[in-house]
Structures are given as structure tokens and as C-alpha cells.
Structure 1
């Protein structure tokens, strides 16, 4: 399976189902009809794409939009971006600041307006920081709208077990044997997102790296 075949399956799963559980089940069903080698290929391309989305600027986007920062949460956010399809994923992977162009993100902002319009604040020492999404607001997001898709990364596990009789851990070994090493979860694997690490609370750096997102949240010089 090449990269085009991978994206064809990802996008068909979205067109032919109407919920996330159904989508995962659809992929599992179709992958179960493939050879073990093809299943490894699919997982390899998924890992390549996830690695591409693993950057510090993307982490800042995740941190800002969702209101929390964690290695696992960031991984599930990137999974969700992959689930949106090739054109969308590549656009955001190339320029995380374009996240505002996604109708899915605009939907989340519309839901969030129910709670608060306040976007920024300053601490006692005057240091800038974003007033991020609260836990209550995240709970308000419907499951199908939430920008995370943990199970999207697991659809190869059962098909691989059925095809080989081996546990999913060996699937990771097979992907690494192809020279592809996953970056998620980066805290566990002692890896790091691509690019230069930076302080997301630094107003000037935030404006420089993510000017559109900064404008949306009212971050100014």
C-alpha cells in the first residue's frame, strides 16, 4: 500500500460512515481483508503522517484551542487532523496557523461562545498568557465535534492480530523495521516535536509564530 492507498481508505471511511465508532469499525473491517504486509504499510503511513503533525507550533495550536497540554492529548488531536483527510491535514501540517480555516474549528468556537468571550489576561507580574478553554467548555463539545480521535490510531490492531497471530506491539516493531519511528507519545519515547521549543505564554513569540490565532484570541503587541 502506498501513501495514496492509505489516504483513500482514510477518506472513504469518512464518506461512508456517520459516526466515529462506525468509522473505526469500517476501517477495521476493510483492513481485515488485507494482507499482514498491507496492514503494516497502512500503519507505517499513519505513523509518517502523525510524525509530520508533531511540531511545537502544532502543539501550541492544540494547547490553545483545547485548553490543556498533554502528550497523549496532543497525539489524539493529530489523529483527528489526519481523520479530516489529506488536503486538510497537509494544509495544517504545513502551516498550523491555518487551523482557523477549518469549519470544524469554527464550530468549536461557536459552541465556546456560549460560555465566555474573554480571550486573554495578565498575571500579577504582567506576563501575558492565554485564558484557555475551561474544562466545562470542553465538556460542552459534542463527542463527534471534539478535536481528538484516540481510537483512529488503533484500527490496525485487531486486523494485524488476526492476520499474524501476533500482538499489536509487534506491529510497532514491523513499522520501525521499515525505518519509521513514531514520535508519539513523545514524553514516553524521549522524543520531541519538530522545530524549536518555545514558551506558549510569550506574547511576542506567539504573535510571530501564530499571527492568525493570536488575532483571534485578541493577542496584540
Structure 2
């Protein structure tokens, strides 16, 4: 599976469905009709895409967006959510976590505030992590993890570990300096005043 097909599948899943559960099922169904090698390719590309937003800076951005309610598990789901927003959004956010402030879905979430989000509105897509595994089993009756191991690929199953500097995620000063646009949108500047 090449990168264009990977992104086309994700884009089609967004257009063909109205909510995440349906989107997850749509992807499983579509992937399970493909050759096993393509399903492995999807998982490999998903892991690579996730790696682009698997930094402490990205976790900090998710933490600010989620008003401090972003555990490592939720951050893993957040990475999938960012991927689900599309190739352009992923590229922008991968290069600068503060670019989340320009994403319409993020602006909508921040306008409402995390305390008002229903469960379905949280910026996570937990189901994406299992799509290729389900599809591979449906197509072959075998484990995707075994197939990936034979190919020398270790699937990403959680967030981290992080290389480099870490800081206090709860620090308003760190957020204001490291994520100025996102921090301002989240109301952080008013809180600090």
C-alpha cells in the first residue's frame, strides 16, 4: 500500500460515514477486502504517521486542548484523531504542535470547552488503532502482529517514549511560551491574568 492509497482510504472513510464508530467499521470492511500485504502496509503507514506526532510537545498540545485531561492512553487516541483529520492537518501539526490552533475542529472544541464535550466529541479516535488487526484477521484468519513481526515491523501500541526535553504539562508559563496560539485560544491568557 502506498501513502496516497492510505490517505485516500482515510479521506473516503470520513466522507462515507457520520461518526467514528461507523468510520472504524467502514475502514475494517474496506481493508479486509484488500490483499494481506496491503493491510500490513496500512498498519505500517499508520504507525509512521503516528510517529510524526508522538513527541512531548504534541502531548503538551493535546493536554492544553483537553484542559489537562490527557493521559498517555488518551494521547494515543489523540494521535489517531489528528491522523483522521487528514494528510494536510497531520503535516501541519507534525511540524508545529501549536498549529492545532488553526484546525477548525480544534477551534470548535475550544470554543465549547472540554467540560461541555459529550463523550463522542473528545479529540480521540481509539478505534483506528485496531482497524488493520481486525481487517487482517477477517481477511486471513491470522494475527496481524505475527505477519508484521515476520516483516520486521513492530507496531506502535501506545504513546511515547519521548526523546529529549520534558517539562511540567500543568505549567501555564510553559504552555504560554511553547504553545502561544493554542494557549490563547484555550483561554489560558485570561486564566493567567
TM-score, length of structure 1 as denominator length: 0.76
Cα displacement (A) at 1:77? 0.5
- Give the number of equivalent residue pairs: 189
Task: Give structure 2 stretches of 5+ with no counterpart.
Answer: none
**Quick check: 1:24–1:152 contact (8 Å CA) kept in 2?**
yes
Distance in 1, Cα, partners of 2:51 & 2:146 = 16
Distance in 1, Cα, partners of 2:112 & 2:173 = 28
Matched residue, 1:153: 129
**Quick check: 2:39–2:136 contact (8 Å CA) kept in 1?**
yes
Matched residue, 2:40: 40
Matched residue, 1:141: 117
Cα displacement (A) at 1:208? 3.0
Matched residue, 2:3: 3
Matched residue, 2:165: 196
Matched residue, 2:30: 30
| SS of 1:34 mapped into structure 2 | coil
Pairing 1:42-81 to 2, within 5 Å after superposition: 42-66=42-66, 67-81=68-82
**Correspondence for 2:139 among 149, 155, 163:** 163
Name whichever structure is richer in helix by fraction.
Answer: 2
Distance in 2, Cα, partners of 1:142 & 1:206 = 25
Matched residue, 2:180: 211
Pairing 1:171-190 to 2, within 5 Å after superposition: 171-186=144-159
Q: 1:181 to 1:195 in 2, by over 3 A?
A: farther
| SS of 1:5 mapped into structure 2 | helix
Cα displacement (A) at 1:193? 2.5
Distance in 1, Cα, partners of 2:148 & 2:38 = 11
| SS of 2:47 mapped into structure 1 | helix
Question: Structure 1 stretch 205-214 or stretch 53-62: which is displaced more?
Answer: 205-214
Distance in 1, Cα, partners of 2:146 & 2:91 = 26
Q: 1:93 to 1:144 in 2, by over 3 A?
A: same
| SS of 1:156 mapped into structure 2 | helix
**Quick check: 2:64–2:183 contact (8 Å CA) kept in 1?**
no
Distance in 2, Cα, partners of 1:206 & 1:111 = 20
Cα displacement (A) at 1:184? 4.0
Q: Which runs of 4+ in 1 moved over 4 A?
A: 176-180
Matched residue, 1:18: 18
Pairing 1:86-165 to 2, within 5 Å after superposition: 86-112=87-113, 133=114, 137=115, 140-165=116-141
Task: Give structure 1 stretches of 5+ with no counterpart.
Answer: 113-132
TM-score, length of structure 2 as denominator length: 0.87
| SS of 2:118 mapped into structure 1 | coil
